[in-house]
Structure 1
Amino acid sequence: MIQLWTPEITTLLTRFFKANHLPYGQDFPGHIPTGRFSNGKLNPDFVASFLGIKQTVPTSLDPNLSNDAFNGLVFASAGSGYDELTTILTGAIPVPKQLGQFKSYIAKLSRIFGNNEAQNIIEKSLAIISAGTNDFGFNYYLLPMRIQQFDINGFQDFLLKALHDFVKELYKRGCRKIVIAGLPPMGCVPILVRKDSSRPSIEHVWRTRMLMPVLQWKARFTETEEGCCGSGLLEASFLCNPETPVCETPSDFMFWDKLSSKRAAYKAMSHLLVNQILPKLTLE
């Protein structure tokens, strides 16, 4: 299984956004920070686990990759997006360059197994794509370039064109089973909820309704507007650190910091994906 995901694996990148320190990873196997922006596993880990493939999925940049990387790999970079301009602030690997890493991975498969078997592996693999939120949060609404170039509809079309080209490239490389995650209601992220707390309550109701399938799952979160790590300000990355207070009841919280979901939330979302979306695909 191949995961093309853009959540949060960053230890191997020297940049501003990092999660290679506690309390990130405090509930990960071994209780160690791994660069995942969460208290534990992420969506790729849970999807692979639910499918019986492996318990955790390594990143393609890991210098210690073993042979089990051939049945699951993440090409993700926290803060990335379809628009390369997004990474000006985040310093992440943009999606087009993640595609380049995927091509290098295919070349490695071909050297080891031969071209025909490598192609067979890719065709039977599952590619999961999730990006776009950062293109708005860290780009369109923050930097002056795109908002001067496009209105909101034009920027959406710009991103859709980039996604279209990206999927065409995946298909050209042999991917036949592709899941594309749509954008979540971005106003639900704690940092934006706090920023826009004066907005009409009807918008809060709409945002909550959008996430009800996840919230009603067995995780049963009671706090969905604050992050567990932090005092109510801008805690994320280095601002969520060993000296930052952590909530007493993490199981009640949907978000770990002001930007990232918690392990239980990722588990809930992955559960829905595996049980409701993947059965519609033919996985061999």
Structure 2
Amino acid sequence: MASSLSMVASPLTVVSLLVASASIMSGGGGGAQAQPIVPAVISFGDSTIDVGNNNYLPGAVFKADYAPYGQDFVRHEATGRFSDGKIVTDITGCYATTTLDAYSVDCSGYDGGCVTNEFVLWVVAAAETLGFESYAPPYLSPQASGKNLLIGANFASAASSYYDDTAAMYDAITLTQQLKYYKEYQSKLAAVAGRAKARAILTDALYVVSTGTGDFLQNYYHNASLSRRYNVDQYCDLLVGTFSDFANELYRLGARRIGVTSMPPLGCLPASIRLYGEGKDACVPRLNRDAETFNEKLNATVKALKRRHAHLKIAIFDIYTPLRELAQHPAAYGFANARDTCCQTGTAKTRVYLCNPTTAGTCRNASSYVFFDAVHPSEAANVFMAESMIEAGIELVT
């Protein structure tokens, strides 16, 4: 079977297939306005898909509510996304918008125009790409109310994780609490849409789970007590078991389409190379092996969930392969730098991961960097990863 990366090499062929499929599934034809492929996108996880929930947590250690975060986003303002611009779930195309605020679509800046949109169509929970004119605001924000609830909800919180103790260390929203918020959202949605319509939205919605990096970088690797209690294999069992329980509960609550991201190549993140690379300018093999162990167990768990729930569509969004490829061969994909970060990071325990707001020196062109800060990809890298996940996305919406 062709790898996700090889599929990226033939965009026009893929686009033609996706456009035709989208038209058939949405009942499109003639000049009718396109309808969303799914009615809503509901997101759980960490900073990879946090769109600003941590802005509303006074004690949260990790926030992206300051420059240079957001320098390439709508109005060039920080919204709480951990990137220079869009994160993977924002990757958009050419849908018209009626408003231009922190939650609206901006299609400018992409070569190929709508081709980018259709190419990413099946990817991950990119709300506009699935046919929406805007995407769900952070659940803790005032905007998460009324009709805005109809298109989904985003519960993700930077520093959250599968292991609730990790999130608690950084005052993030634990995965357990995110699920409680989801149940609260169900009631709010029913009040806005009516019980029958709310049930239909929740059943047909796309659910995205993206977390786990912090369980290693922000906990296991520097927590001697935890690493004594569990070896890597046992720790991965703990994390994947938590995901399995979480997915089963989502299914019980009505979810039927779930996409979960793999663990990224932990050893290729700039923070990992800096902290664990022993002075070498290369990915740290030991950490990548840990990520591979997790991913193998996640694959087995997803297969088991499919066998258990005949009506569940569940797929893994592989971010390990494309991000490792970018980190090891950046020039082959148009990037100039995969080791340094676009923004200047700090030296303290937590700031080593993030842009330092007191240090000047952010790069002029973030699109030439694979990483914006020491753990989060640039918008350009997010576009690449989104495109590489096309095969898994098709499985969820067909």
Could you tell me the TM-score, scaled by structure 1's length?
0.88
- Cα distance per residue 1:36-90 (max 9 Å; x no partner): 1111121222212322213443111111235233213211000101111102432
| Cα distance in 2, alignment partners of residues 104 and 194 from structure 1 | 41
Q: CA 1:250/1:168 → structure 2, altered by over 3 Å: closer, same or farther?
A: same
Deviation of 1:202 after TM superposition, in Å, equals 8.1
Of structures 1 and 2, the one with the larger relative CO (CA 8 A, separation 6+) is 1
- Indicate the SS of the match to 2:235: helix
Question: 2:141 matched to 1:62?
Answer: yes
Deviation of 1:238 after TM superposition, in Å, equals 7.0
Q: What does residue 379 of structure 2 align with? A: 263
Identity %: 30
- Cα distance per residue 1:9-42 (max 9 Å; x no partner): 3211112211111111111101111111111121
Compare 218-227 and 178-187 and name the one that shifted more: 218-227
Of structures 1 and 2, the larger Rg is shown by 2
Question: 2:54 matched to 1:32?
Answer: no
Question: 2:357 matched to 1:244?
Answer: no
Q: What does residue 156 of structure 1 align with? A: 236
Confirm or deny: 8 A CA contact 2:149 2:189 kept in the other structure.
Answer: no
Confirm or deny: 8 A CA contact 1:3 1:75 kept in the other structure.
Answer: yes
| Cα distance in 2, alignment partners of residues 254 and 265 from structure 1 | 5
Q: What does residue 334 of structure 2 align with? A: 220
| Cα distance in 1, alignment partners of residues 207 and 77 from structure 2 | 27
- Cα distance per residue 1:83-137 (max 9 Å; x no partner): 1110243211111111111111111112222322211101110001111111111
Deviation of 1:252 after TM superposition, in Å, equals 1.1
Confirm or deny: 8 A CA contact 1:25 1:40 kept in the other structure.
Answer: yes
| Cα distance in 2, alignment partners of residues 202 and 65 from structure 1 | 42
Compare 247-256 and 202-211 and name the one that shifted more: 202-211
Given residue 3 of structure 1, which amino acid in structure 2 is its aligned partner?
A: S
Confirm or deny: 8 A CA contact 1:22 1:33 kept in the other structure.
Answer: yes
Given residue 279 of structure 1, which amino acid in structure 2 is its aligned partner?
A: I
Confirm or deny: 8 A CA contact 2:46 2:210 kept in the other structure.
Answer: yes
Deviation of 1:272 after TM superposition, in Å, equals 2.6
Q: What does residue 180 of structure 2 align with? A: 100
RMSD: 2.8
Confirm or deny: 8 A CA contact 1:226 1:232 kept in the other structure.
Answer: no
| Cα distance in 1, alignment partners of residues 395 and 255 from structure 2 | 16
The equivalent position to 1:3 in structure 2, one of 43, 47, 62, is 43
**Number of equivalences:** 282
Unaligned runs of 5+ in 2: 1-39, 92-125, 289-319
| Cα distance in 2, alignment partners of residues 140 and 193 from structure 1 | 16
Confirm or deny: 8 A CA contact 2:150 2:193 kept in the other structure.
Answer: no
Confirm or deny: 8 A CA contact 2:276 2:284 kept in the other structure.
Answer: no
Q: What does residue 68 of structure 2 align with? A: 23
Q: CA 1:218/1:271 → structure 2, altered by over 3 Å: closer, same or farther?
A: farther
Compare 142-151 and 216-225 and name the one that shifted more: 216-225
- Cα distance per residue 1:203-237 (max 9 Å; x no partner): 56896976356577996222111110017866557
- Indicate the SS of the match to 2:128: helix
Q: What does residue 246 of structure 2 align with? A: 166
Compare 13-22 and 121-130 and name the one that shifted more: 13-22
Q: What does residue 278 of structure 1 align with? A: 393
Q: CA 1:209/1:278 → structure 2, altered by over 3 Å: closer, same or farther?
A: closer
Confirm or deny: 8 A CA contact 1:83 1:135 kept in the other structure.
Answer: yes
The equivalent position to 1:121 in structure 2, one of 186, 201, 221, is 201
- Indicate the SS of the match to 1:230: coil
Deviation of 1:271 after TM superposition, in Å, equals 2.5
Confirm or deny: 8 A CA contact 2:268 2:283 kept in the other structure.
Answer: no
Unaligned runs of 5+ in 1: none
Question: 2:124 matched to 1:12?
Answer: no
